[in-house]
Structure 1
Amino acid sequence: AFRWTLSEYCSSLSPLFYGLLLGALIGGLGLAIVTTFWLTSSDENASTTGTWSITGTTNYVRYIHTASVLTNGKVLVAGGYNGSGSLNSSELYDPSIGVWTNTGSMNYARYRHTASILTNGKVLVVGGSDSSIYLNSTELYDPSIGVWTIASSMNYARYLHTASVLTNGKVLVAGGSGSSGYLNSTELYDPSTGGWTTIGSMNYARFRHSASVLTNGKVLVAGGSGSSVYLNSAELYDSSTGVWTTTGSINIAREWHTASVLTNGKVLVAGGISSSGYLNITELYDPSTGVWTLTGNMNYTRFRHTASVLTNGKVLVAGAFNGTGCLNSSELYDPSTGVWKTTGSMNYARYIHTASVLTNGKVLVVDGYNLTGYLNSSELYEP
């Protein structure tokens, strides 16, 4: 019940060889139709700045994992899926030497979970699934000893939810999907007590949405899907009142998009998928007005990509699936002009990967998926 019914296989070759595998699990039988074709990519519009370089390989292939930049500058990758099952393994990347080393394993294998850096430096992993059941279990990673310990369970099992660290240090978990379907329930984790408390419900049940902590401390949830319908609704959580209120709707209903809080306080939503297909459309939310406005289109439609706010304020989008193939392209959004420009391409096409902004300003992209299978490659982007 937890395996993809649609799997997109993408190539890392150049010229890029792409394949699409449509899989349907019917009565336990796997039926597949495979279509392959060639695409070539052009960097003639690429910026002269911004390069990708390969760095250390992870010890395990994985996708649908999490990546967290620790206070010591290392990156913790945890869980995920490797094609045959969910993972409980975790590993650390050291930017000073470019090497991955195994660290303590989680108590529960999981993917489609969330990971949050707490104010005390520990990492809270929440929910997800383990290929057979939805999880309400949570656990804490202590970087000082490299060990995971079981924490209090959530009130609701969920996956494909969001988790946001509030300005008061608590963690807000919202939405997702569970055994009863799409969820509008939300709950708070208090690190000082280690307990979970249910709070006000969102106005719309949703999963595959985005959640952004605004500069005013409120949390903006946008898009996603619920009851098999793409959503354009957005709502705000106010931690001072514990109440959700609706705000302006995005112009294009979408799921699997990215949301980035810009240095000017606005939120950039990019790409995803809607009823009309894969998107290159991007839009901005202005917290001062509660209104969404369209901004420049990306050069490529993208789904399950990553978006990273660089130290210079620009937003780097990398990889994706676009409906016909997997991308190794990346591009930059400049908030001062509202324009997207292509930059250097990754060495491997990938999607469902992670991207982390390191303390040195570089961006670390890890693992994911393409036609060659599940990846254990990682690479660095230098602006």
Structure 2
Amino acid sequence: MFRSLLFFALFLYAATGICVAQEDTTTVLTVPTSATLGTPATLTATVADTPTPATAPVGAVSFFDGGVLIGSATLDGAAPGVATFSTSVLSVGSHSITATFVAANLANFNPSSASAVLQPIAQRTTTTSIAVTSLITVRSATAVSAAVNDQTFGASSGTSTATGNNLTINRFGHSATRLPDGTVLIVGGSTDGSAANAQKNAEIYDPVGGTFTALDATCVTLAKCLATARLGHTATLLPNGTVLIAGGTDTGGVSLASAEIYDPVAQTFAAANPLNVARTEHAATLLPDGSVLLVGGSSDGTAAGALSSAEVYSGGTFTTTTNSLSTARFGLTATLLATGNVLITGGTDTTATTLATTEIFTPTGTPASTGAFAAGPSMNSARFDHTATLLPDGLVLITGGIVSSAVSNTLELYSSLAGNFTAVTASGNHNLTDNRSGHAATLLNNGLVLFAGGENATTPTVVNTAELYTPSYDPQGTVSLTSDNGADTLVGCTLTLSGTGETT
């Protein structure tokens, strides 16, 4: 009996562990009282261990604008911990910013979220001046000009300059996606433009140091590279911070329906569910509801295989949209506008004709698979294998591509307010430093646009060069002239600003 009780006591002792509870945390968010369009707004999250304030929480903070992930930063290791994230790409208006802390080891610290804080982004200031070429005579026409200047306009505004460093390899038909930490993931592509030399590897661009670093150049660690080499694919940042890589062309020249997911924390790729249709040289963009629109492309890499269909990725699966493009096209772009609609531009149709036409997709449904496509305004130049980037001021920057059967370095701007495209004058270096098609364009957190790789106009040749574009924030709109003499009648005196990347 004694031995039985002893055994029971030992068993009870062995089966009873010591439970250590997770530490509760609090997260407090602070933002600047004011910031101006195109200038940095530094968001600061302070994370404290509630029961033991002397303990330093370990982990990262994600920052959200209206529920949309805009960036992340690691705590500094202090007690309390501080994480800062700076962005220059918030649009004019009031933004509801939140922050969420997630511990590096969830067994030690509970997550916590900060209450929403409003971040105002103010309009940029301008100066307006007028000039009269001659004395004004009653009942005689007099030429008047007006100049409206952005007060912070600089010599580099609206221009592009070569970066000090290049991609680790030549790339064409690759993708470039800004990650939550501000770096850029560059994936796949071809080293010479051919399918046979499509790549599995990836590299990271660090805008702080201006460097490109291969994740695993020779794919020694398989998970550090794509499972399938591909070019002509798309890569879209998802709301959870991972990247959806979809479609493209493999080394055998076969268009792909396969997809992969990149995890920026582990820096690894994993298989995802396939698309409904094999697509290459299609376009993809994140929609306001967190789903992804994939549109157009080619089923076999040729003009004859150009597609008009589209599909939406949501919850890990692809759903074919109810409606289709009015014109089948590949080598196109798709850009989410500030209005929540999507601008689809250019490409090549089934007759191998390069297109200047555009379409506007209006998302409806959950996910947005019942959205409608409608005709949009035409670009100034027909283009394919170009890029389209939404700038902080709401304009869309169109760059390069194949124009008039040649690789181009020209730019144009689309205004969703005016509903038109404006060609950017090439004077004063308001163009790409190099002609490019099949390149990639990414808006960085510092407000600059990174252009990387593609083919240039020599031969053409696939390159590893890169450049950075500085938005001009050139004023656009109209100037109405008035007189302080109430009896005066001014006719034809509403002037339209050119807004082409330099002061007017």
TM over 0.5: yes
Q: Contact conserved, 1:114 with 1:162, CA < 8 A, in 2?
A: yes
Question: What is the letter of the counterpart of residue 149 of structure 1?
Answer: A
Equivalent position of 1:197 in the other structure:
319
Matching of residues 23-38 of structure 1 within 5 Å? none
Equivalent position of 2:98 in the other structure:
none
Equivalent position of 2:164 in the other structure:
53
Question: What do residues 164-210 of structure 1 show as CA deviations (whole Å, max 9, x unaligned)?
Answer: 011111111011111360001100000x2x11100021111111111
Q: Contact conserved, 1:258 with 1:269, CA < 8 A, in 2?
A: yes
Do residues 68 (structure 1) and 177 (structure 2) align? yes
Summarize the Cα distance change of 1:283–1:207 in structure 2 as closer, same or farther, 3 Å threshold. same
Q: Contact conserved, 2:165 with 2:466, CA < 8 A, in 1?
A: no
What CA distance in whole angstroms lies between the structure 1 residues aligned with 2:448 and 2:186? 25
> Given the alignment, which residue of 215, 228, 238 partners 2:362?
238
Summarize the Cα distance change of 1:77–1:149 in structure 2 as closer, same or farther, 3 Å threshold. same
Compare 318-327 and 139-148 and name the one that shifted more: 318-327
Question: What do residues 133-152 of structure 1 show as CA deviations (whole Å, max 9, x unaligned)?
Answer: 11000111223333322211
> Given the alignment, which residue of 96, 107, 113 partners 2:233?
113
Larger RCO: Structure 1 or Structure 2 (Cα < 8 Å, ≥ 6 residues apart)?
1
> Given the alignment, which residue of 149, 171, 179 partners 2:292?
171
Task: Please report how far the alpha carbon of residue 308 of structure 1 lies from its aligned counterpart in structure 2 after TM superposition.
Answer: 4.9
Q: Contact conserved, 2:178 with 2:444, CA < 8 A, in 1?
A: no
> Given the alignment, which residue of 332, 342, 351 partners 1:209?
332
Q: Contact conserved, 1:296 with 1:339, CA < 8 A, in 2?
A: yes
Equivalent position of 1:356 in the other structure:
none
What CA distance in whole angstroms lies between the structure 1 residues aligned with 2:177 and 2:425? 30
Task: Please report how far the alpha carbon of residue 217 of structure 1 lies from its aligned counterpart in structure 2 after TM superposition.
Answer: 1.1
Equivalent position of 1:87 in the other structure:
199
What CA distance in whole angstroms lies between the structure 1 residues aligned with 2:233 and 2:200? 12
Structure 1: gaps of 5 or more residues: 1-44, 342-383
Do residues 334 (structure 1) and 334 (structure 2) align? no
What CA distance in whole angstroms lies between the structure 1 residues aligned with 2:267 and 2:451? 31
Equivalent position of 1:4 in the other structure:
none
Equivalent position of 1:161 in the other structure:
282
Equivalent position of 1:261 in the other structure:
390
Q: Which secondary structure state, in structure 2, belongs to the residue aligned with residue 335 of structure 1?
A: coil
What CA distance in whole angstroms lies between the structure 1 residues aligned with 2:458 and 2:402? 10
Task: Please report how far the alpha carbon of residue 311 of structure 1 lies from its aligned counterpart in structure 2 after TM superposition.
Answer: 5.8
Question: What is the letter of the counterpart of residue 111 of structure 1?
Answer: L
Equivalent position of 1:322 in the other structure:
457
Q: Contact conserved, 2:391 with 2:471, CA < 8 A, in 1?
A: no
Q: Contact conserved, 1:187 with 1:197, CA < 8 A, in 2?
A: yes
Q: Percent identity?
A: 36
Task: Please report how far the alpha carbon of residue 279 of structure 1 lies from its aligned counterpart in structure 2 after TM superposition.
Answer: 3.8
TM-score, with length taken from structure 1: 0.66
What CA distance in whole angstroms lies between the structure 1 residues aligned with 2:264 and 2:466? 34
What CA distance in whole angstroms lies between the structure 1 residues aligned with 2:320 and 2:424? 37
Question: What do residues 26-50 of structure 1 show as CA deviations (whole Å, max 9, x unaligned)?
Answer: xxxxxxxxxxxxxxxxxxx989996
Q: Which secondary structure state, in structure 1, belongs to the residue aligned with residue 197 of structure 2?
A: coil
Q: Contact conserved, 1:317 with 1:332, CA < 8 A, in 2?
A: no
Equivalent position of 1:218 in the other structure:
341
Task: Please report how far the alpha carbon of residue 87 of structure 1 lies from its aligned counterpart in structure 2 after TM superposition.
Answer: 2.6
Compare 205-214 and 88-97 and name the one that shifted more: 88-97
Q: Say what the alpha-carbon RMSD is for the aligned residues.
A: 3.4
Equivalent position of 1:181 in the other structure:
305
Summarize the Cα distance change of 1:116–1:229 in structure 2 as closer, same or farther, 3 Å threshold. same
Equivalent position of 2:96 in the other structure:
none
Summarize the Cα distance change of 1:312–1:139 in structure 2 as closer, same or farther, 3 Å threshold. closer
Equivalent position of 1:292 in the other structure:
421
What CA distance in whole angstroms lies between the structure 2 residues aligned with 1:49 and 1:113? 26
Q: Contact conserved, 2:156 with 2:470, CA < 8 A, in 1?
A: no
Task: Please report how far the alpha carbon of residue 261 of structure 1 lies from its aligned counterpart in structure 2 after TM superposition.
Answer: 1.6
Task: Please report how far the alpha carbon of residue 270 of structure 1 lies from its aligned counterpart in structure 2 after TM superposition.
Answer: 2.8
Task: Please report how far the alpha carbon of residue 90 of structure 1 lies from its aligned counterpart in structure 2 after TM superposition.
Answer: 3.4
TM-score, with length taken from structure 2: 0.51
Question: What is the letter of the counterpart of residue 249 of structure 2?
Answer: S
Task: Please report how far the alpha carbon of residue 268 of structure 1 lies from its aligned counterpart in structure 2 after TM superposition.
Answer: 2.4
Which structure's residues are more often helix, by fraction?
2
> Given the alignment, which residue of 355, 361, 379 partners 1:250?
379
Q: Contact conserved, 2:306 with 2:328, CA < 8 A, in 1?
A: yes
Question: What is the letter of the counterpart of residue 80 of structure 1?
Answer: G
Q: Contact conserved, 2:178 with 2:443, CA < 8 A, in 1?
A: no
Equivalent position of 2:482 in the other structure:
none
Question: What is the letter of the counterpart of residue 150 of structure 1?
Answer: A
> Given the alignment, which residue of 164, 182, 187 partners 1:78?
187
Matching of residues 323-362 of structure 1 within 5 Å? 332=470, 334-336=472-474, 338-339=500-501
Question: What is the letter of the counterpart of residue 281 of structure 2?
Answer: L
Q: Contact conserved, 2:247 with 2:258, CA < 8 A, in 1?
A: yes
Summarize the Cα distance change of 1:258–1:87 in structure 2 as closer, same or farther, 3 Å threshold. closer
Summarize the Cα distance change of 1:293–1:130 in structure 2 as closer, same or farther, 3 Å threshold. same
Do residues 131 (structure 1) and 251 (structure 2) align? yes
What CA distance in whole angstroms lies between the structure 2 residues aligned with 1:324 and 1:46? 30
- The structure with more radius of gyration: 2
What CA distance in whole angstroms lies between the structure 1 residues aligned with 2:406 and 2:161? 29
What CA distance in whole angstroms lies between the structure 2 residues aligned with 1:181 and 1:275? 22
Q: Which secondary structure state, in structure 2, belongs to the residue aligned with residue 321 of structure 1?
A: coil
Summarize the Cα distance change of 1:203–1:119 in structure 2 as closer, same or farther, 3 Å threshold. same
